[in-house]
Copies of this chain bind each other. A is one copy, B any other.
Amino acid sequence: MKLFKGNIIYTKNKESFEIMENGFILEENGHVQDIGLDLVEKYPETEVVDYSGHLLIPGFVDLHFHAVQYGNLGIGLDEELLDWLNTYTFKEEEKFSDLPYAESIFKEAIKDIIQSGTTRIVFFSSIHEGATRLLIDLCEKHNLSAYVGKVNMDRNASEGLIESPKASYEITKRLVEETEQAIITPRFVPSCTKDLMTSLGELAQKGYPVQTHISETENEIEWVKSLHPEAKNYLDVYDQCGLVTDRTILAHCVFCTDDEKEVIKYRGAYVAHCPAANFNLTSGIMNVKDYINKGIKVGLGTDVGAGNTPSIRNIIVESIKMSKVNQMMHRDKDVLSFSEAFYLATKGGGSYFGNVGSFEVGYEFDLLVIKPDDLSLSRGINCLEQLQRFVYAGHNDMIIESYCQGKKLKAY
Contacts and interface: CB of A to CB of B under 8 A. Distances in A.
Interface string A367-387: 000000111001101000100
A231 B388 CA distance: 40
A274 to B, nearest CB: 14
A interface, over-half SS: helix
Given A308-B393, A374-B108, A394-B74, A325 B388 contact: no
B321 A379 contact: no
B396 A279 contact: no
Interface string A295-330: 000000000000011100000010011001101110
A392 interface: yes
B78 A391 contact: no
Interface stretch (A139-147, A245-253, A280-288): A280-288
Interface in A326-340: 327-329, 335, 337-338
A263 interface: no
Contact of A378 (B104, B310, B338): B104
A381 B74 contact: no
Task: Identify the interface centre among A76, A338, A392: most chain B CB within 10 Å of its CB.
Answer: A392
A39 to B, nearest CB: 30
A73 interface: yes
The 5 closest A-B pairs by CB, nearest first: A74-B392, A74-B393, A74-B389, A308-B392, A282-B324
